[in-house]
Every structure is written in structure tokens, then in C-alpha cells.
């Protein structure tokens, strides 16, 4: 897009799902053990945001927390490719009478990934709605819950490895403005975190390849879907990050790309900006502090000011 001016109050997309979405309320559970990479000293000189000196302690930006898929990397089409490759590899047929393996087209996957967080929950939801499939894992659709879970595990594990192959190809680049904003925040003494609902091994590979080892190991907090027992839109992953960072939610600013992520962030008491993708542009982001097509023209000062305005308004 030519303009990068903030867009506020985008109209929500009309869901094509047959079943009405339920709005769930989540309560924070126990804080699970999580992975915390070692920190390295950045060699770049400190960059101090001009608005920071005038901000009160209650409105200071103390941590910037990024989602991964859709924020650091525009990955929806890559995940969809990996799922379809997995369905073909295991001859997943849903319904079982189908002559061809299951295939999720882009329109359906946009709808699915924006309403169901996490890989295994996506397949679990789909098979419960459309019937359990036949496959090379189970020639007949599994009827026992343990067999159903094993089928999902097998497909998800293969899909994750396929996704890693795509990332390793070197053809995938970070979204505009991400690296510059991370470096500016780090130079200004603001803590950095990544919180992703995806499998840890795939997120680690993604971050190592797209951020580089120095930035990745310099993160103050890194959490993946394996580290919490509730997926977004549950706020648990952001509540856990707040605990690890030792900060109040109001002093953390989350960068998300979807309504699910926005709900998770606000549920944890954290203000959130949206950097939408082509598949999330029409979602309802009215609870976001600001909405951008990407981060290419977003400066640290802009985020400081947005946070101050949010705290003042509340």
C-alpha cells in the first residue's frame, strides 16, 4: 500500500463459518516453565526516544512484544502450503470417500487461521466439524480419542518439518520495518520479547533465520505455543511474558496482526498495535491503539506517544 498512515476502526470481516463463534473468557492459570535465551550486548549506540524523557513512569514504554507469524514474517501462505503438503503426504481424505487429499484453499485458510489459534486446534476443529478422515496413518477414520490425537500429532509434526524446510530455503524475509524497530527499542533500553502460538522449534528456526542470531539471543523473553496450555485468544501467553519480564501489562506494547492476537493482548491488560496482512485487513481492530499496513514508517517515538495517550485516556 502507498500510505502507511494509521487506520482506526476497520470493519470486521463477515465470517463464513457455519457455527456462531463463542466468546470465551480466560482466567490465568499456573505459569509454566519457559525458555529464556541468553542475552548478548548490542554494539550499536543507544537510541533514546525523544518522548521518553517527558513520560511519567506509569506511561513509559518498557517492553515491546512481537507476535511472530504475520508480524515478523508474513507466513500464512507458507503454513497453508505446509499443511496441504502434509495432507497429500499422508493421503488425508475428508470425507473418506473423497478422491483427492484434503486441500485448504487460501480463502478458507484465511478464515480458519484468523478464528482458531494454533496448528493442532485448527485440525481438531476442522475434523470435528467435517468428520474424521481416512489416511495412511489410519485407513479407517479413527473413532477413539487417543487415535484421533495421534493422527493430529503425526500430521502436525510432519507439517512443522516441512515448514522448516521452506524457511531454510532462504527465500523468506522479515516484514518491512521490523528489524529497524527492534534495534531502536534495544538501543533505547526497552525490553524485547516474542510471543508466538506456533510450535517452538519452528519459531526458533524462523527467528534465527529472519532476525539473526544476535537479535534472537538478545531477546529478554521468548515464548512459543509449547510454553503455555492455552492458545490465543487466551491472554495466558502475554500474562506469562509479563511475569517473566517483571513488568506491568500497561507498560508493555504488543505488536499483533489479527483480532485473535489483539484479544489476547488486551485480555492481559496490554495495549496493542496492529500491523495487518492481506488476510486480516478487514478484521475488527477497534480495540487497537493504532493500525498500520506494516512497520516501515513507524518510529519508536510514535509508539511511546501512542502508549502515553492510551494511559491518559484510561
Contact 164, 154 (CB under 8 A): no
Report phi then psi at 194, rounded to 5.
Answer: -125, 130
The predicted model gives 112-136 an average pLDDT of 91
Nearest to 80 by CA among 97, 61, 102: 102
Contact 93, 206 (CB under 8 A): no
Q: What confidence score (pLDDT) does residue 114 get?
A: 73
Q: What confidence score (pLDDT) does residue 58 get?
A: 56
Element (H, E) at 311: helix 300-313
| Cross-strand pairs, 114 | none
Average pLDDT, the chain: 84
Q: Which CATH architecture has domain 77-169?
A: Orthogonal Bundle (1.10)
CA distance linking residue 235 with residue 269, whole number of Å:
9
CA distance linking residue 151 with residue 130, whole number of Å:
15
- Is the per-residue pLDDT at 19 higher than 80? no
| Tens-place pLDDT, residues 62-114 | 999 999 999 999 888 899 999 999 999 999 999 999 999 999 999 899 889 87
First to last CA, the chain: 32
| Tens-place pLDDT, residues 32-42 | 334 343 333 33
Nearest to 206 by CA among 118, 79, 299: 79
Q: What confidence score (pLDDT) does residue 76 get?
A: 84
∠ CA(241), CA(247), CA(250), 5° rounding? 95
Give 57's pLDDT tier (boundaries 50, 70, 90).
Answer: low
Nearest to 32 by CA among 171, 188, 227: 227
CA distance linking residue 101 with residue 84, whole number of Å:
8
CA distance linking residue 91 with residue 291, whole number of Å:
41
| Cross-strand pairs, 256 | 274
- Is the per-residue pLDDT at 205 higher than 80? yes
- Is the per-residue pLDDT at 248 higher than 70? yes
Q: What confidence score (pLDDT) does residue 4 get?
A: 42
Distant-in-sequence, close-in-space partners of 35: CB < 8 Å, separation ≥ 6: 200, 222, 223, 224, 227
pTM (global) more than 0.85? no
Element (H, E) at 254: strand 252-256
CATH of domain 63-74+175-313: 3.40.50.1000
Nearest to 130 by CA among 13, 276, 19: 19
Q: What confidence score (pLDDT) does residue 311 get?
A: 74
Range in 38-47, 137-146, 228-237, 304-313 with the lowest mean pLDDT: 38-47
Range in 1-10, 142-151, 229-238, 294-303 with the lowest mean pLDDT: 1-10
Percent of the chain with pLDDT over 70: 81
- Is the per-residue pLDDT at 309 higher than 60? yes
- Is the per-residue pLDDT at 60 higher than 70? yes
| Domain segments of the chain as ranges | 63-74+175-313, 77-169
| Topology match between the domains 63-74+175-313 and 77-169 | no
Give 313's pLDDT tier (boundaries 50, 70, 90).
Answer: confident
Active site residues: 67, 69
DSSP state of 72: T
CA distance linking residue 314 with residue 242, whole number of Å:
20
Please provide the DSSP assignment of 163-187 as one string. HHHHHHTS---PPTTHHHHHHHHHH
The predicted model gives 140-160 an average pLDDT of 96
Amino acid at each position: 500500500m502507498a500510505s502507511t498512515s494509521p487506520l482506526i476502526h476497520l470493519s470486521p470481516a463477515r465470517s463464513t463459518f457455519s457455527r456462531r463463534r463463542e466468546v470465551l473468557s480466560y482466567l490465568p492459570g499456573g505459569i509454566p516453565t519457559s525458555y529464556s535465551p541468553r542475552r548478548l550486548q548490542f554494539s550499536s549506540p543507544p537510541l533514546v526516544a525523544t518522548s521518553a524523557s517527558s513520560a511519567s513512569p506509569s506511561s513509559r514504554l518498557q517492553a515491546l512484544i512481537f507476535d511472530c507469524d504475520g508480524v515478523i514474517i508474513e507466513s500464512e501462505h507458507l503454513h497453508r502450503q505446509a499443511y496441504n503438503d502434509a495432507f497429500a503426504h499422508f493421503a488425508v481424505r475428508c470425507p473418506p470417500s473423497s478422491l483427492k487429499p484434503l486441500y485448504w484453499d487460501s480463502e478458507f485458510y484465511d478464515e480458519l487461521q484468523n478464528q482458531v489459534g494454533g496448528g493442532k486446534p485448527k485440525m481438531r476443529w476442522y475434523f470435528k466439524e467435517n468428520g474424521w478422515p481416512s489416511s495412511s496413518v489410519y485407513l479407517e477414520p479413527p473413532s477413539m480419542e487417543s487415535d484421533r490425537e495421534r493422527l493430529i500429532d503425526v500430521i502436525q509434526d510432519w507439517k512443522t518439518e516441512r515448514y522448516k524446510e521452506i524457511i531454510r530455503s532462504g527465500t523468506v524475509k522479515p516484514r518491512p520495518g521490523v528489524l529497524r524497530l527492534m534495534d531502536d527499542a534495544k538501543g533505547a533500553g526497552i525490553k524485547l520479547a516474542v510471543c508466538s502460538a506456533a510450535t517452538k522449534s519452528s519459531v526458533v528456526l524462523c527467528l534465527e533465520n529472519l532476525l539473526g542470531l544476535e537479535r534472537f539471543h538478545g531477546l529478554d523473553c521468548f515464548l512459543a505455543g509449547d510454553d503455555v496450555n492455552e492458545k490465543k485468544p487466551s491472554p495466558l501467553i502475554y500474562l506469562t511474558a509479563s511475569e517473566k519480564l517483571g513488568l506491568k501489562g500497561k507498560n508493555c506494547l504488543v505488536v499483533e496482526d489479527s483480532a485473535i492476537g489483539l484479544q489476547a493482548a488486551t485480555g492481559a491488560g496490554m495495549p496493542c498495535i496492529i500491523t495487518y496482512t492481506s488476510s486480516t485487513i478487514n478484521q475488527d481492530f477497534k480495540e487497537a491503539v493504532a493500525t498500520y499496513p506494516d512497520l516501515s514508517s513507524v518510529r519508536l517515538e510514535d509508539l511511546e506517544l501512542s502508549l502515553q495517550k492510551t494511559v491518559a485516556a484510561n
